[in-house]
C-alpha cells in the first residue's frame, strides 16, 4: 500500500494545483535531499552486514536475507572499560573477532584524517586505547587473520600484535613534508582516490607499503585568517604540472626478521596507485603508471626475494584511466580487469601469468563499474551504460558460459554495493522524478526488502509546483550528439521569451546529464523567471573512449566550442531570449565558463565562474598531465587552453567566486586571472569566501552564494 501511495504521489508531481513553491534556503539546508542508508560492512561469508546504529553507540550485525539483527557486536554502554559515549566510525577485522572505533577525527585533506582509535576484542568485550602514543593515528589496516593492525602516526608505520598486547614502530624516517610511509601525499589522495597503500600477506608474515619521498616537491602556502590578529600560514607539498612529484618505492616489512626489502620494479616508476597481496602466497601485485600515464604495468613481485615479473603491460595513445585499476579483482589464479582497448570500457579475464583468457563484455557501450566477483559460481557483477549513456543498470555475467543477466528492474540510474562474493547487494535507484529508493536483493536480482523509499519526500514534492526537466539531444560544434536537458518553470508560458542559464561541468569523463533525482539551486532559479539548460559536451563520460578522450592535449577548446554551439541552438528556440543567455560552472565548470565567454564571440551575456582553474600550469601534476602532459611537452596546448591568456577576449558580464583556503584549485588561479582582466581593462565582479575550501561547505554559505549568483544574473541579464 505504501508503494502504491508513493507512485500516486509521483504521478501528481507536476499537476498539483495551488502547490507550495520552492524556497532557496530549504534547498541549501537539505530539505529536499533524498535519504540513503548508513554505510555497511559485509561479513566474510557475505550473509550478513555490520552497521552502526543512528547514534553511533552500537555496531549491529544484520542478516542480508531477512534484514533482522542477529547480534550486537559492540555497545559503548556494555563494553568493559569503555571511556566514551559514542564513536565516529569503525573498522572490523577480516575474522570479525576484533574491531577498532575512532573519535576526535581531525581532517588532513579532503578524505584523509587522523583520530584517536580504540581497539575492541569482541570475545572479551574489552575496549582500550589502540596505542599509548599521544599523537593521533590514521589509516589502520588489519592483517587477514585479524591478529595484527598496522597504522600510521606522524608518517611512520606502527604495528600492534593483539595476541601479545604489544606495539612496535616499523619505520622511523617519517617526517611531515618529507617522508610518508604507508599513507599517501596530497595528489594521490585527490587524483588516485587513495589514502592508504599498505597490505598484509595472506599468512600475516609480511607487510607491504609504499614509501613517499616528497622532499623535492614544491610547497604551496595559503593564509588562514580565522579572526586572528596575524593570519597563520598553511603550507603543504603540492606538485603542479611539470614540477617534481614524490619519489615512490614499494617495500615489504618482514615481521619476524624485522627487515625491510625494496621490491625490484623499474627505478623510474613514477606512480604506484595501488598494491595488494594475492589471495594466497607471497606474491604482491604492484600497479604502476609512467609520468605521462599512458603506460600501465601490473607487476607480481615475490615479496621475499623482491623479484618482480610483468603480468600486464598496456599502452594507450592518450592516457589510461587509473580508476580502472579498481576493477582488478584477484581470485583463485585469475583476475578481472576493465580496459578501454576496444574503444569502450569492457571486462576482461586474465590468468596469473598475464594471459588474457577472454573478453567478458562487448558492445558499443561502457562498463562503468565492476562491482563484485563470485569465484564459486564464476560470476562477475557490474554496472553499465548499455541502455543509455544517461542511465545505469546492474548486470551479472557467467565467466564460463558468457551468459549475461540484467539484475536491475527500474529504468534510471542504479548503483549497487555487494556483499562478499556477490551473494547479496544493496541497490540505490532513482530517476529524474523519483527520489532515491534503496533495496536489498539476492544474487538473482530478486528484491528482498526496501530499506529506504523516501516516501515522505515524495509526498512533499507531490504538493509543490516544480519545474519540468526534458531530456533532449543537441549537436556539438562538429556535429556529434550531446546529451542535454532543459528545465522550464512550473508556470511555463510558451508565448513568452525567457532568459536562459546554462549550467555545466564539462570535465573529462564527467556527467551532469543523467536520468536521476536531484534538487538544487537551479530548480529554484526556474521560479525566478529563468529557464535552465545543461549540456554534456565532448570529453564527458559513458559514450566511449573517442568521445571521452578527444579533448586530450587541448583542454578547454572543444568543451567551450560545444557550450557555444549549444547556446546558439537554444537561442533559436521561440521561448528563449537569445540576447539573454548566461553560463555557470564550478571548478572545471568555472574554467569552461571563462573559456566559453572568451571564445564565444559574445553569445553569453553573463557568466559565473566558481573556483575556476585559469591556467593548467597552476593545477596538480597527476590531473593536468593526464590530459595535457607537462607544460614543457605541450606548450601550445597550455597556451591555447589558458583562460588567463584569453582574458583580453572575454565578452559578457562576469562574476568570479573563490574560497581563499582552497587547497585544490588554489585561490592563485582567480587572483592571477583578475589581474589579467584588469590589464585588459575588462570590468568584472568578484567575491571571496574567507577561509573556505574548494567546496564552500555549509548551508548558510551555500545560500549566501546562490543568492548572490541569482542577484547577479537578474541584474546583468
Q: Is the Cβ–Cβ distance between 46 and 422 less than 8 Å?
A: yes
DSSP state of 420: G
Per-residue CA distances from 716 to 411, 608, 688, 709 (Å): 40, 11, 19, 10
593: nearest Cα among 583, 581, 606, 578: 583
State the alpha helices, DSSP H only, in 391-537: 455-462, 521-525
CATH for the stretch 472-716: 3.40.50.1820
Distance of CA 47 to the CA centre of its chain: 28
Beta strands in 122-243 (DSSP E): 126-129, 138-142, 148-153, 156-161, 166-169, 179-181, 198-200, 206-213, 219-224, 232-237
Q: Is the Cβ–Cβ distance between 669 and 612 less than 8 Å?
A: yes
Q: Return the ∠ at Cα 533 (arms to 529 and 535), rounded to 5°.
A: 170
Round to whole Å and give the CA distance between 418 and 443. Answer: 9
Give per-residue pLDDT as tens, 17-32.
Answer: 346 789 999 999 999 9
Give per-residue pLDDT as tens, 143-194.
Answer: 999 999 999 999 999 999 999 999 999 999 999 999 999 999 999 999 999 9
pLDDT of residue 20: 79
Residue 213 burial by Cβ neighbours in a 10 Å radius (0-12, 13-18, 19+): middle
Cell digits of residue 103:
573519535
pLDDT of residue 421: 87
pLDDT of residue 404: 98
What's the CATH fold of domain 166-320? Methanol Dehydrogenase; Chain A (2.140.10)
Round to whole Å and give the CA distance between 230 and 504. Answer: 39
Round to whole Å and give the CA distance between 303 and 281. Answer: 9
Q: Within 10 Å of residue 362's Cβ, how many Cβ atoms?
A: 12
Residues of the chain below pLDDT 50: 1-18
Cell digits of residue 565:
554551439
DSSP state of 189: I
Considering only the C-alpha atoms of the chain, give the largest distance between any 2 of them, rounded to a whole number of Å. Answer: 82
Dihedrals phi, psi of 70, to nearest 5 degrees: -115, -15
pLDDT of residue 16: 37
Phi-psi category of residue 276: left, alpha or beta, with phi > 0 → left and psi -120 to 50 → alpha: beta
pTM greater than 0.75? yes
| Domain segments of the chain as ranges | 166-320, 472-716
Amino acid at each position: 500500500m505504501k508503494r502504491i501511495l508513493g507512485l500516486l504521489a509521483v504521478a501528481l508531481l507536476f499537476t498539483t494545483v495551488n502547490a507550495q513553491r520552492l524556497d532557496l534556503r530549504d534547498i541549501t539546508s537539505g530539505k529536499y535531499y533524498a535519504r540513503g542508508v548508513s554505510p555497511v560492512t559485509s561479513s566474510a561469508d557475505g550473509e550478513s552486514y555490520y552497521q552502526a546504529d543512528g547514534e553511533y553507540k552500537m555496531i549491529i550485525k544484520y542478516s542480508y536475507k531477512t534484514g533482522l539483527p542477529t547480534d550486537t557486536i559492540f555497545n559503548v554502554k556494555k563494553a568493559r572499560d569503555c571511556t566514551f559515549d559514542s564513536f565516529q566510525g569503525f573498522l572490523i577485522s577480516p575474522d570479525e573477532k576484533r574491531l577498532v572505533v575512532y573519535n576526535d577525527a581531525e581532517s588532513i585533506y579532503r578524505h584523509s584524517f587522523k583520530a584517536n582509535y580504540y581497539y575492541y576484542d569482541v570475545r572479551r568485550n574489552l575496549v582500550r586505547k589502540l596505542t599509548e602514543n599521544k599523537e593521533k593515528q590514521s589509516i589502520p589496516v588489519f592483517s587477514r587473520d585479524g591478529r595484527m593492525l598496522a597504522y600510521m602516526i606522524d608518517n611512520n608505520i606502527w604495528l600492534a600484535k593483539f595476541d601479545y598486547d604489544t606495539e612496535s614502530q616499523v619505520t622511523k624516517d617519517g617526517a611531515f613534508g618529507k617522508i610518508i610511509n604507508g599513507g599517501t601525499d596530497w595528489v594521490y589522495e585527490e587524483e588516485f582516490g587513495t589514502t592508504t597503500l599498505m597490505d598484509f600477506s595472506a599468512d600475516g608474515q609480511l607487510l607491504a607499503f609504499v614509501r613517499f619521498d616528497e622532499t623535492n616537491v614544491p610547497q604551496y602556502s595559503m593564509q588562514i585568517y580565522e579572526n586572528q590578529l596575524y593570519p597563520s600560514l598553511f603550507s603543504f607539498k603540492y606538485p603542479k604540472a611539470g614540477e617534481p612529484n614524490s619519489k615512490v618505492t614499494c617495500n615489504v616489512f618482514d615481521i619476524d626478521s624485522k627487515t625491510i626489502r625494496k621490491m625490484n620494479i623499474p627505478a623510474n616508476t613514477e606512480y604506484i596507485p595501488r598494491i595488494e597481496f594475492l589471495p594466497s602466497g607471497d606474491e604482491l601485485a604492484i600497479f604502476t603508471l609512467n609520468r605521462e600515464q599512458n603506460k600501465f604495468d601490473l607487476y607480481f613481485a615475490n615479496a621475499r626475494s623482491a623479484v618482480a615479473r610483468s603480468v600486464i603491460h598496456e599502452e594507450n595513445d592518450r592516457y589510461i584511466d587509473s580508476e580502472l585499476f579498481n576493477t582488478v579483482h584477484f581470485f583463485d589464479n585469475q583476475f578481472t580487469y576493465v580496459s578501454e582497448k576496444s574503444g569502450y570500457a569492457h571486462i576482461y579475464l586474465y590468468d596469473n601469468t598475464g594471459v588474457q583468457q577472454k573478453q567478458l563484455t562487448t558492445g558499443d557501450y561502457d562498463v562503468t563499474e565492476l562491482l563484485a566477483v563470485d569465484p564459486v559460481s564464476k560470476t562477475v557483477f557490474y554496472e553499465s551504460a548499455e541502455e543509455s549513456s544517461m542511465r545505469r543498470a546492474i548486470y551479472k555475467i557467467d565467466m564460463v558460459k558468457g551468459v549475461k543477466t540484467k539484475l536491475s528492474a527500474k529504468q534510471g540510474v542504479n548503483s549497487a554495493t555487494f556483499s562478499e562474493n556477490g551473494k547479496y547487494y544493496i541497490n540505490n535507484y532513482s530517476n529524474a522524478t523519483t527520489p532515491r529508493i534503496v533495496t536489498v536483493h539476492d544474487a538473482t536480482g530478486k528484491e528482498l526488502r526496501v530499506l529506504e523509499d523516501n516516501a515522505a519526500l515524495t509526498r512533499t514534492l507531490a504538493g509543490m509546483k516544480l519545474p519540468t526537466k526534458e531530456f533532449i539531444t543537441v549537436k556539438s560544434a562538429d556535429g556529434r550528439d550531446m546529451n542535454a536537458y532543459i528545465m522550464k518553470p512550473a508556470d511555463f508560458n510558451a508565448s513568452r521569451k525567457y532568459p536562459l542559464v546554462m549550467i555545466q561541468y564539462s570535465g573529462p569523463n564527467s556527467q551532469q546529464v543523467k536520468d536521476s533525482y536531484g534538487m538544487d539551486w537551479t530548480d529554484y532559479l526556474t521560479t525566478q523567471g529563468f529557464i535552465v539548460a545543461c549540456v554534456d559536451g565532448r570529453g564527458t563520460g559513458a559514450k566511449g573512449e573517442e568521445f571521452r578522450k578527444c579533448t586530450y592535449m587541448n583542454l578547454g577548446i572543444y568543451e567551450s566550442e560545444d557550450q557555444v554551439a549549444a547556446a546558439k541552438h537554444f537561442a533559436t528556440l521561440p521561448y528563449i531570449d537569445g540576447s539573454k543567455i548566461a553560463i555557470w560552472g564550478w571548478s572545471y565548470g568555472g574554467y569552461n565558463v571563462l573559456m566559453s565567454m572568451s571564445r564565444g564571440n559574445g553569445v553569453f551575456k553573463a557568466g559565473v565562474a566558481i573556483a575556476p582553474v585559469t591556467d593548467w600550469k597552476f593545477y596538480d601534476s597527476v590531473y593536468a598531465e593526464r590530459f595535457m602532459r607537462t607544460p614543457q611537452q605541450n606548450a601550445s596546448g597550455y597556451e591555447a587552453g589558458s583562460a588567463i591568456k584569453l582574458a583580453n577576449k572575454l565578452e559578457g558580464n562576469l562574476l568570479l567566486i573563490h574560497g581563499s583556503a582552497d587547497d585544490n584549485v588554489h585561490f592563485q588561479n582567480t587572483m592571477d586571472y583578475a589581474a589579467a582582466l584588469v590589464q585588459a581593462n575588462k570590468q568584472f565582479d568578484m567575491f571571496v569566501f574567507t577561509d573556505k575550501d574548494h567546496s564552500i561547505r555549509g548551508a548558510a554559505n551555500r545560500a549566501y552564494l546562490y543568492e548572490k549568483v541569482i542577484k547577479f544574473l537578474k541584474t546583468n541579464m
